[in-house]
Structure 1
Amino acid sequence: MTENLSGFHLDRRTALAAGAVAATALTVAGCSSGSNQSASAAPNPGNGNAQAKKQDDDELAYTKDVPVGGGVIAGDTVITQPTAGSFQGFSSTCTHLGCKVNEVTNGLIKCPCHGSSYHLDGTVAGGPAPRALDSKAIRVDGDKIVSA
């Protein structure tokens, strides 16, 4: 047993169980979904799997960083450009168990946890995801993609 500063006794098993409960609570608290909208703008080629950086509260990425036929992940938003000039936004939360998707490659948005993948329009390409990614409202403002 160990003793903390208040004189409370805590054994290793109890401490590990409390840590597991806390980690689970943090994971559940991180799950969210978004609203339904997309935006359009002039096409700009970019690299295949760039991670977009958020510049301020609304700015998600630059249009040049979102490749035609690909996408980027900016925080909790996946931004894709399935066809030239058509930008779409989605939640980065997988609809299977709430893990965060972590890459956009070869025309697919991929989740590392259980192998789910999504097409660039957010629809399920491969399970176990039960439904499409939630849409997130974005818009193009000049050469920037921002939250709408």
Structure 2
Amino acid sequence: MSDDQIVTGQVQTRRALLLGAGAVGATVVLAACGTDNSTDDSTGPAAPPASGEAAEPNTGADVLTKTGEVPVGGGLIFAAKDVVVTQPSQGEFKAFGAICTHQNCPVTNVDGGTINCSCHGSKFSITDGSVKSGPATRPLPAKEVKVDGENITLA
């Protein structure tokens, strides 16, 4: 066997390894995208997220979240529904679009009384969606929510 054959064999092995790793990675991504928890209630409700992080609780098709899951002075982001639910003061719930009005990036967290976009640093009030600091110049659009007992839904 010549040295060329050994090198060629190693290249083919590396190629096969990389292709296999890429296929496994793609399979994992596709499997995660294909998960549907809407028909399986056996796992119970999702654990409450940390304050201000994106949340997608398993509370039913129309219910965004429970009142007890939204921190007072903070909020939760529901990216799949394009909504941020906030609780500026005890028992007062507000909702806004979850897309920054600057360059259409999704907002990333709620912290310190503001809804924050990490793309360019815009901050919006949890009370009325107004711009607290730019570069955004327009407020987040308000959305209507309905509180029914402990359930919060879009109105």
TM-score (normalised: structure 1)? 0.65
Residue number among 134, 138, 143 corresponding to 2:145 in the alignment: 138
Query: Contact between 2:84 and 2:96, CA under 8 Å: does it hold in 1?
Result: yes
Unaligned runs of 5+ in 2: 1-48
- Greater share of helix residues, 1 or 2? 2
Answer yes or no: is 1:109 the counterpart of 2:115. Answer: yes
Question: Between Structure 1 and Structure 2, how many residues are aligned?
Answer: 103
- Higher mean alpha-carbon deviation, 55-64 vs 87-96, is at 55-64
Query: Which amino acid in 1 is paired with 2:141?
Result: D
**Does the alignment pair 1:87 with 2:87?**
no
Cα offsets for 1:15-59 (capped at 9, x unmatched): xxxxxxxxxxxxxxxxxxxxxxxxxxxxxxx95325332433311
Counterpart-to-counterpart distance in 1, 2:119 and 2:53: 21
* 1:60-82 CA distance string (max 9 Å, x none): 11111111111111221100011
Matched, 1:52 2:69: no
- Please state if 1:65 is matched with 2:72: no
- Of residues 111, 129, 146, the one that matches 2:136 is 129
Partner of 1:64, secondary structure, is: helix
Query: Unpaired segments of 5 or more residues in structure 1?
Result: 1-45
More strand by share: 1
CA gap of 1:96–1:107, structure 2 versus 1, over 3 A, is same
Structure 1 ranges of 4+ moved more than 4 A: none
Which amino acid in 2 is paired with 1:98?
N
Matches of 2:52 and 2:136, distance apart in 1: 22
Cα distance, 1:116 vs. partner?
Answer: 0.4
- In structure 1, C-alpha distance between the alignment counterparts of 2:50 and 2:108, rounded to whole Å: 16
Instruction: Assess if the C-alpha contact under 8 Å between 2:62 and 2:154 holds in 1.
Output: yes
2:31 corresponds to: none
Which structure ranks higher in relative contact order (CA pairs < 8 Å, sequence separation ≥ 6)?
1
Contact 1:47 1:65 in 2 (8 A): no
